[in-house]
Structure 1
């Protein structure tokens, strides 16, 4: 049994010839996904009686590195109630967990995959 792949050289050449376009598209995809996760997590935890300021502490940062684009999403410990993030998400021996970040990230996965696919397509077919 053998496998013959055609067109792969063209794909690699197209990606190598447009790294800036690809990087811009991937950064946009990551930013849109990070914002969606932040907003979803905020809505999942909003309205909790003892955490009125916690939802506003959930933020995101997007950074472009030499190896790719990354996003950090979660509570900012410098904001009111932001330091409670781990306790709220995972709970403690005295408090039940209130998962909101994990489920928001899971819910965003299909859209993130689609956004990356669109960025790749746009880089290949400008």
Structure 2
């Protein structure tokens, strides 16, 4: 999915019916966790476990954030709306070897770019799109459309 496709999908999701937001939040959260786990696993497989970098996979973390107008709705427990949810996934610089995890994503002089995070995202993409579709379909069904 190209960046313009992601931008279009984000815009489309921001206009989804309020009834869909619980399902969208679940899709974003579940996908973020799956990407985090796969990214960590990819790092463990691509970076020698016996090497000095054995903790690097454990530095991968994620946060699920509520954005815009939906923050107030979330706090009140009335679902989403507004701009929605986002997930930040990647190395936690406060964790052991977190600052080094980016080396394998982008590469550097003596370390080839292996793209474990990008590969994890591409693996999860079809499942994410499926569950967002289920959430929107369920919201339309509940709305009688």
TM class, shorter-length = 0.7 to 0.9
Taking the aligned partners of 2:52 and 2:34, their CA distance within structure 1 comes to 24
TM-score (norm 1): 0.80
| Alignment pair present for 1:50 and 2:48 | no
2:11 is aligned to none
For residue 59 of structure 1, the aligned residue among 61, 78, 91 is 61
What do you get for the CA RMSD once the two structures are aligned? Answer: 1.4
Task: Give unmatched runs, 5+ long, in structure 2.
Answer: 1-15, 69-82
Please state whether the residue corresponding to 2:127 is helix, strand or coil: helix
2:24 is aligned to 26
2:115 is aligned to 99
Please state whether the residue corresponding to 1:50 is helix, strand or coil: coil
TM-score (norm 2): 0.70
How many equivalent residue pairs?
109
Q: Deviations over 1:36-59 (max 9, x none)?
A: 101111111115223211111101
Task: Give unmatched runs, 5+ long, in structure 1.
Answer: 1-14
Taking the aligned partners of 1:100 and 1:106, their CA distance within structure 2 comes to 10
Larger radius of gyration: 1
1:89 is aligned to 105
Give 4+ residue runs of structure 1 displaced > 4 Å after superposition.
none
Distance apart, 1:111 and its partner CA: 0.5
Q: Deviations over 1:61-108 (max 9, x none)?
A: 111112111100001000000011221211111222232101000111
